[in-house]
Amino acid sequence: MTILAAAGRIAATVVAMIGTRLELAAVEFQEDARRLLGYLAWTLLAVFLAAGACLLVALFVIVLFWDDYRLQAIGGMVILFAAGAGTIVLKVRSGLDKQAALFSGTLAELRNDVSYLRGHAVSAPATHAEASHE
């Protein structure tokens, strides 16, 4: 009967550990989803405002140089905006590369659980054998 009781306690512990890890994964997912939604909203607003500002700047420069250098003004605005867009794309890619992996906390806890269980599985028979010698 004690073996069944011990197996039941182990099973209950494993189920509780799995439940805790699933709750952690759900919390991490919610945090990441909210964070990404916030980034998306701010990015859309920034894109809208930047597009308006860029159009007005381009129009101002083109009108300023319309009489003598209209094609050079248009070409200069195209080059300036393309360089700015390229810089922003590189910055965003760099930021995304530095981002932690999704569910990294959950995966780390699961690895800790596995190593803990493996350590107990190896040390449990040795402890039992030592107790029987004493």
pTM of the model: 0.44
CA distance 19 to 27: 12
Two tokens at 51?
């597009």
Two tokens at 35?
């964070």
Residues 6+ apart with CB under 8 A from 64: 73
pLDDT at 131 over 70: no
Can you give the pLDDT at residue 134?
42
pLDDT at 132 over 50: no
Can you give the pLDDT at residue 14?
83
Q: Which residue has the higher pLDDT, 131 or 21?
A: 21
**Each residue's pLDDT tens digit, 24-78:** 888 888 888 888 888 899 889 988 898 899 889 888 988 888 888 888 888 888 8
Q: In the chain, what are the domain boundaries?
A: 2-133
- Averaged pLDDT of the chain: 80
- Which DSSP helix (H) or strand (E) runs through 51? helix 2-64
The alpha carbons of the chain give a radius of gyration, in whole angstroms, of 30
Single-letter residue type at 36? L
